[in-house]
């Protein structure tokens, strides 16, 4: 019986279309969700549900850690990227909202003194956060669909 429930939820997840992104961060989350929903099969040709995403990310204040081995220059050495994902899942046949929620994740990163290394570390943290938000939204939507 557990296998049939999982198969049922898996097929419902595979029938979700996701709104088009307006920025790179939302695109990252959307791409991850498409893969998670369809198992790599891409977007559904005949969707049953529509998912509206609202994604925002924010670079939190950097942390200054000084120890005997650093140069005590006062340069930040670590940071955090916070990503918030809001979602609304709607059944297309009747327009009923069948699930909604907010998921927040934080991805930490090292901030070396080189400017471009910091930019790359921030972008990598953003990509990690997008993957984690997508996984959290995927789980939440699976729970929403299991109640139908």
Give pTM, 2 decimals: 0.85
Could you tell me if 5 and 28 are in contact, meaning their C-beta atoms sit under 8 angstroms apart? no
Per residue in 25-46, pLDDT (tens digit) is 999 999 999 999 998 888 899 9
Domains assigned to the chain: 2-63+78-146 (3.30.160.150)
Average pLDDT over residues 124-128: 95
Q: How far apart are the first and last CA of the chain?
A: 16
Q: Give the strand order in the sheet containing 97-110.
A: 16-18, 49-59, 78-91, 97-110
Question: Burial code of 81-98, b = ≥16 C-beta within 10 A, e = fewer?
Answer: bebebebebbeeeeeeeb
Measured distance CA(31)–CA(29) in Å, rounded = 6
For residue 2, what pLDDT band results from cuts at 50, 70 and 90? very low
């Amino acid at each position: 019986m557990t296998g049939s429930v999982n198969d049922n939820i898996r097929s419902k997840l595979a029938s979700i279309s996701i709104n088009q992104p307006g920025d790179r961060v939302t695109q990252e989350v959307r791409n991850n969700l498409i893969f998670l929903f369809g198992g790599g099969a891409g977007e559904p040709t005949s969707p049953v549900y529509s998912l509206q995403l609202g994604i925002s990310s924010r670079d939190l204040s950097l942390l200054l850690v000084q120890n005997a081995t650093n140069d005590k220059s006062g340069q930040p050495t670590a940071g955090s990227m916070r990503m918030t994902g809001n979602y609304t899942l709607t059944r297309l046949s009747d327009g009923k909202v069948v699930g909604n929620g907010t998921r927040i994740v934080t991805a930490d990163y090292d901030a070396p003194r080189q400017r471009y290394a910091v930019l790359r570390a921030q972008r990598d943290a953003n990509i990690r956060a997008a993957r984690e938000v997508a996984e959290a939204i995927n789980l939440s939507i699976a729970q929403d669909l299991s109640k139908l």
